[in-house]
Structure 1
Amino acid sequence: MPEDDGPVAPKVSVEFEVFGHVQGCYFTKYCKDQCDRLGIYGWVKNTRSGTIVGKLQGDRDKVDEISMWLSKQGSPGCRIDLCELRNWELIVKPDFRNFSIRF
């Protein structure tokens, strides 16, 4: 009989947009590093309007952790005015193989 590893952590998907002084301070690089460390899938990119947008997918607790980072901390030298998290969904598996910076 296979061993029971307990309940499987729920996986979620969420889109985000970060407003403030978030470009020109390596925000996308730091975001990718954080997501890689946490095992989160998805992408991040700069927008023409000066914000950062992206999509996060992974275990709920890890997505909550990066959501707090996006809302409160960010990269050194940035200023976060607002982080909008929208379109939360429960997912079975991520749509992405890794976390990437898009251009």
Structure 2
Amino acid sequence: MSTTHTITRHLRITGRVQGVCYRASMTEEATRLGLQGWVRNRKDGSVEALAQGPASAVQALIDWARQGPRLARVDGVLVTAVEDGVTLSGFVQREMV
């Protein structure tokens, strides 16, 4: 797979991932990797994210998500491909849903 091929992935992260700076840390990491997308807390205690960019950079964020920031305890990361041609700009934190 080409590292310049743009892909979009939806992530659902479970564990102790709220109240541990997970969203802020993911935003920082995604920005460092040059990705577009968003991250938000969910009322069920999980964190949800959408990441778009070069395949290698998206995979690097997925790998990061499996560890998270220092205080997090990640139990699982469910990754789903998004193929609907969504165009994103920047990487931002969204409101809880």
Which residue identity does 1:61 align to in structure 2? S
Give the RMSD, CA atoms, in angstroms: 1.8
Offset at residue 90 of structure 1 (A): 8.7
2:24 maps to 1:24: no
Say if 1:84 and 1:30 are closer, same or farther in 2 by CA, change over 3 A.
same
2:5 maps to 10
Offset at residue 76 of structure 1 (A): 1.4
Deviating beyond 3 angstroms after TM superposition, the runs of 4 or more aligned structure 1 residues are: 88-91
In structure 1, stretches of 5+ residues that fail to align are: 1-6
Give TM-score scaled by structure 2 length.
0.90
Report % sequence identity.
24
Which residue identity does 1:80 align to in structure 2? V
CA distance in structure 2 between the aligned counterparts of 1:35 and 1:84, rounded to whole angstroms: 17
Residues 11 and 79 in structure 2, CA contact (< 8 A), matched pair in contact too: yes
Q: Which of residues 67, 73, 79 in structure 2 aligns to 1:79?
A: 73
Give TM-score scaled by structure 1 length.
0.85
CA distance in structure 2 between the aligned counterparts of 1:11 and 1:53, rounded to whole angstroms: 20
CA distance in structure 2 between the aligned counterparts of 1:40 and 1:82, rounded to whole angstroms: 22
Say if 1:17 and 1:67 are closer, same or farther in 2 by CA, change over 3 A.
same
